[in-house]
Amino acid sequence: MKIMVCIKQVIDSDAVIAVDDASVLPKTDERAEFHINRFDECAIEEAILMKDAHKDIAVDVISVGPPRVSDALKRAMGMGCDHAIHILTDTEGFLSPFVTASWIAAMASKKKYDLILTGMLSEDLMQGQVGPIISERLGRPCAVGIVHERLMLPQKKIYTEREIEGGARQRLEIDLPAVLAIQTGINQPRYPSLSNLLKANRYKIEIVDSASFAHAEPRQEVVATGCPRKTRAGRLLTGSLDEKARELYRILKKKALIP
């Protein structure tokens, strides 16, 4: 059985330091560090858990992006993925989910996977579209928000539970091949093992130039970025630690919120 896990490398949250009305994307610290999108990390872990539990499962990890993305792919291999594919672009800017998903789907249709896992959404653009778009491009079923799965290999199906409002779960049996968009909480991603990381560093990642795919015309663009509007008073206390603690007590006492 072949599984493909789609991952995105995202910038560390505390590196997003300013929003400049003139620029389209937020300013980031030059020393910014990146990590694997945590939803995608859960997807990798779930694939490796399937590999641990069943015989003959191979896991490919794929990512779209500039050269630095190879670090994320190596870490994924450190967690236990067997093969890594890098769809190389030269852009550091906004890449629409339609374009990303179209390239991944083109790659996947060549390789014939039984199961494709993605994270439910990315921490940066947060659209949650890549999984459903891949499934539509491949003409296969998709379920989003997966918090539990169990392979039903003889029936060529997978049992899944997707999380819906209020913490309820919708239970589904889905024919393979299928696309699942994974929600956090399904597992606790493992740290890569040292031996796997050493192997990953020597591994020859399959690099595919994004220009080799049929052109996918972007359907959307980011026009501007800015600070969110405050939905409440948003007053920040000032002064020393002790002054703030006393001021907070005084305010709560005045509002009769503290005895």
Partner 1 sequence: MNPDPVRPIIIVAEQFNDPKSFILDELIGAARKIQRFYRGPVKVLIITGDCEAAAVKSGRKTGMDVIVIRVPGLTGYNGEVYNAVFSEILQTMHPAYICLPHTSWGMELAPALAIRLNADCITAVVNITEQENRLLFSRFICNDKIIAKMNSVADTTVLTLQPGAFTAGKKDDTGQGTIENRTMAAGSRHIKSMGITAPVAQDTGLAGARVIVAAGNGIENQENLALVRNLAACFQKAAIAGSRIICERGWLGYGCQVGVTGMTVAPDLYIACGISGAAQHVSGMNKSGYVIAINKDPNAAIFNAMDMGIVEDLAIFIPAFIQVCRQE
Q: Identify which of residues 67 and 218 has a Cβ nearer to partner 1 in the complex.
A: 218
Per the rule left: phi > 0, alpha: psi between -120 and 50, beta: everything else, 51 is: alpha
The site map against partner 1 for 161-180 (x = CB under 8 A) is xxxxxxxxxxxxxxx--x--
Told to check if 149 binds partner 1 by CB under 8 A, we report: no
Between 154 and 167, name the residue whose CB sits nearer to partner 1.
Answer: 167
| DSSP letter for each residue of 168-214 | -EEEEEEESSEEEEEPTTS--PPPPPHHHHHHHHH---EEEEGGGSP
Site for partner 1 in 48-87 (CB under 8 A): none
User: How big is the chain, counted in residues?
Assistant: 259
Q: Say which residue the tokens 């796997």 belong to.
A: 196
Interface with partner 1, residue 44, by CB under 8 A: no
Least separation in angstroms between CB 109 and partner 1: 14
When asked if residue 26 is in the footprint of partner 1 (CB under 8 A), the reply is yes
Residues 92-111 that bind partner 1 (CB under 8 A): 97-98
The encoded tokens of residue 115 equal: 């199961």
Structure tokens at 129: 């579209």
Instruction: Kindly determine how many residues on this chain lie close enough to bind partner 1 according to the rule CB under 8 A.
Output: 82
Residues 188-247 that bind partner 1 (CB under 8 A): 188, 218-237, 241-242, 244-246
**Cβ nearer to partner 1, comparing 53 with 224:** 224
Local structure of residue 112 (DSSP, 8 states) = -
CA angle 141, 113, 54 (to 5 degrees): 100
Residue 22 touches partner 1, criterion: CB under 8 A: no
152 binds partner 1 (CB under 8 A): no
Place of tokens 């993305």: 69
